[in-house]
């Protein structure tokens, strides 16, 4: 064995964290760690101490010591490399390098130590890999969340039933109070009240006090009859106020108590037509959509790792009887772009005259209103140089003291005007937002996912380049990658344009009216 134990102790020998990689008794490891501060001399520049049985390889961390207890036969160079890796991990998991910070992060540190050291030997891992391994999803955690969500849903169902029961009981109580009030007032022998009572009688000879007929009246819609006298208005007024109160019952106490305990309560909201509709319904007879999707991986040192552009042309027809048409298009003539028609499209007609028409002209195009339309043409481009990339990102991490300063720069090609640009940079887990020194645009810190989002509403000739600078506590520079980018543009690589619609039926009059929508989107755009 090489590494016997990895530990963090204070200068008086108090053990804060220790992880043994061999079978050792508690008394022995405590004795070894308690003897270490007595062996450390003042003013010495050594990083190891040897005794008769073991070797201590250590490194000061402010007021603490990070040390490895190894055998005397171990390779000290490998031990120093292991110690350096552990010293990088301690600030990643401990918010402060003091006793309180170490004790609060003791389990995270043990898990991280286990990823670096296996059976006493160092594993070939980086800081980013250790963080990834420690943060992997847990099946038990997912199961626990599902169980909790199921309990919340059951509680909401019980809550709704209880609320309905309370509402019904209040209605019954109100109904009984009104009936009792009428009985007591009818015993007074007031003819004026009897007349009012008869005026409010329901068809069939049953009066207002009848429970079966009263249940037909909606709580939110009280009786809309003019009061004939003061006694009648005094009877109907309480019914109106109670009915409106029951009809607009708001949050109840059970929901509030669940929210106060930190549970995520999802309200039941009925979807409306506007929220479900992803795009407005077509109003023109013909709608043609040209869309290109980019899948690009850029190297952080510069250059392109992979490039793939896929484009589609789809047709959406408002009325089925207008489907007897052909589409006249014009391409940009880029030799790198390969076009492929739908199997039902006349390939020879497209190659010779750039016209998209069905192989059987007696059949109409389908309407295609269930989605984005009917696909007519596809194309693809898989080779491009760096000058043809819409947006390049440069990331320059620079360590300085206890922090690392990151400079981000973007450069946009003059080929495209980009909209809704979002550059997402992964960050280490931070308690507070990063210290942003300068930013061309807007920024937002997503603390849940530890991502810094840099957004630019529009990139055109006025701002083809921009920069952003921020600082975070010192970490490995690989943490900031991969950088993800999202954007859209109204121009495309293919330059495909619809020149017109050719009707196959009718008197050959004016060209049918159509609208063309063109969009270039970044589907998977990263700097790796």
- Domain limits of the chain? 3-135, 281-527
281-527 is classed CATH 2.60.40.1170: yes
For 207, 326, 356, 376, 507, the CA distances from 498, given in Å and listed in that order, are: 73, 11, 10, 12, 22
What pLDDT is recorded for position 382? 87
Show pLDDT as tens, one digit a residue, over the chain (528 residues). 578 899 998 888 888 999 988 888 888 888 888 888 888 765 455 688 888 888 989 888 888 889 999 988 888 888 888 888 998 889 888 888 888 888 888 898 989 898 888 888 888 888 888 888 887 777 788 888 888 988 998 899 899 889 988 988 888 888 776 656 555 454 444 444 444 444 444 444 444 444 434 333 334 344 344 434 444 434 444 444 444 444 444 445 556 665 565 555 554 444 433 333 455 666 778 889 999 999 999 999 888 999 999 999 999 888 878 888 899 999 877 888 889 998 889 999 998 998 999 888 888 888 765 566 788 999 999 887 888 899 999 999 998 888 899 999 999 999 999 999 999 999 998 888 899 999 999 999 998 889 999 999 999 999 999 999 999 998 888 899 999 999 999 999 999 999 888 888 766 556 788 889 999 999 999 999
Give yes or no for a contact between 304 and 389, defined as CB atoms under 8 angstroms apart: yes
What CATH number does domain 3-135 carry, 3.30.70.260, 3.30.450.60, 2.60.40.10, 3.90.1150.10? Answer: 3.30.450.60
What pLDDT is recorded for position 279? 56
DSSP code per residue over 212-224: HHHTTS-TTS---
Evaluate the CA torsion angle 348, 353, 356, 362 in order and state its sign.
negative
- Decide: residue 109, CB within 10 A, 0-12 exposed, 13-18 middle, 19+ buried: buried
Comparing 3-135 with 281-527, is the CATH topology the same?
no
SS3 assignment, position 341: strand
- Decide: residue 6, CB within 10 A, 0-12 exposed, 13-18 middle, 19+ buried: buried
Please count the other Cβ atoms lying within 10 Å of the Cβ belonging to residue 28: 12
Q: Which helix (H) or strand (E) holds 199?
A: helix 191-199
Residue whose token pair is 């998991």 = 93
Rounded CA-CA distance 259/264 in Å is 7
Q: Give Cα 337 distance to the centre of its chain.
A: 34
Of the candidates 83, 90, 75, 40, the residue with the CA atom closest to the CA atom of residue 59: 83
- For 258-327, the three-class secondary structure string (H helix, E strand, C coil) is HHHCCCCCCCCCCCCHHHHCCCCCCCCCEEEEEEEEEEEEECCCCCEEEEEEEEEEEEEECCHHHCCEEE
For 5, 89, 339, 450, the CA distances from 76, given in Å and listed in that order, are: 15, 20, 62, 37
- Decide: residue 404, CB within 10 A, 0-12 exposed, 13-18 middle, 19+ buried: buried
């Amino acid at each position: 064995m090489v590494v016997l134990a990895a530990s963090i102790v204070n200068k008086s020998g108090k053990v804060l964290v220790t992880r043994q990689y061999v079978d050792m008794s508690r008394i022995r490891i405590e004795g070894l760690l308690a003897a270490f501060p007595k062996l450390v001399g003042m003013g010495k520049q050594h990083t190891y101490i040897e005794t008769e049985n073991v070797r201590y390889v250590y490194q000061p961390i402010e007021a603490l010591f990070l040390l490895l207890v190894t055998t005397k036969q171990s390779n000290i160079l490998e031990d120093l490399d292991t110690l350096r890796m552990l010293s990088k991990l301690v600030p990643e998991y401990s918010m402060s390098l003091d006793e309180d910070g170490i004790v609060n992060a003791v389990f995270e540190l043990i898990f991280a130590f286990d990823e670096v050291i296996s059976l006493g030997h160092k594993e070939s891992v980086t800081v980013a890999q250790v963080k990834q391994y420690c943060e992997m999803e847990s099946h038990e955690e997912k199961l626990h969340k599902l169980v909790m969500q199921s309990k919340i849903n059951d509680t909401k169902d019980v809550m709704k039933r209880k609320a309905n029961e309370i509402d019904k009981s209040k209605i019954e109580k109100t109904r009984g109070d009104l009936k009792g009030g009428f009985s007591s007032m009818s015993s007074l022998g007031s003819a004026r009240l009897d007349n009012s009572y008869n005026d409010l009688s329901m068809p069939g000879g049953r009066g207002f006090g009848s429970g079966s007929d009263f249940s037909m009246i909606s709580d939110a819609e009280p009786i809309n009859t003019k009061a004939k006298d003061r006694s009648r208005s005094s009877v109907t007024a309480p019914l109106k106020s109670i009915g409106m109160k029951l009809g607009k019952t708001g949050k109840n106490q059970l929901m509030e108590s669940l929210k106060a305990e930190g549970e995520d309560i999802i309200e039941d909201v009925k979807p409306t037509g506007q929220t479900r509709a992803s795009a407005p319904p077509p109003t023109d007879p013909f709608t043609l959509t040209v869309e290109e999707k980019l899948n690009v991986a850029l190297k952080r040192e510069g250059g392109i790792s992979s490039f793939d552009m896929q484009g589609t042309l789809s047709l959406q027809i408002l009325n089925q009887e207008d489907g007897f048409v052909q589409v006249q298009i014009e391409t940009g003539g880029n030799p790198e772009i390969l076009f492929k028609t739908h199997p039902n499209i006349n390939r020879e007609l497209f190659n010779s005259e750039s016209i998209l028409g069905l192989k059987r002209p007696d059949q109409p195009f389908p309407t295609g209103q269930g989605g984005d339309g009917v696909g007519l043409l596809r194309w693809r481009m898989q080779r491009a140089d760096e000058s043809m990339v819409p947006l390049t990102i440069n990331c320059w991490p620079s360590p300085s003291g206890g922090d690392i300063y990151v400079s981000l720069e973007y450069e946009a090609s003059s080929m495209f005007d980009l909209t809704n640009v979002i550059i997402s940079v992964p960050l280490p887990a931070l308690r507070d937002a990063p210290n942003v020194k300068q930013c061309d645009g807007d920024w937002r810190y997503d603390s849940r996912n530890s991502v810094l989002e840099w957004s630019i509403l529009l990139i055109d000739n006025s701002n083809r380049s921009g920069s952003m600078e921020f600082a975070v506590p010192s970490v490995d520079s690989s943490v900031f990658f991969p950088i993800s980018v999202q954007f859209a543009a109204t121009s495309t690589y293919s330059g495909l344009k619809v020149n017109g619609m050719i009707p196959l039926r009718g008197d050959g009059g004016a060209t049918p009216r159509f609208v063309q929508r063109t969009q270039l989107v970044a589907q998977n755009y990263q700097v790796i």
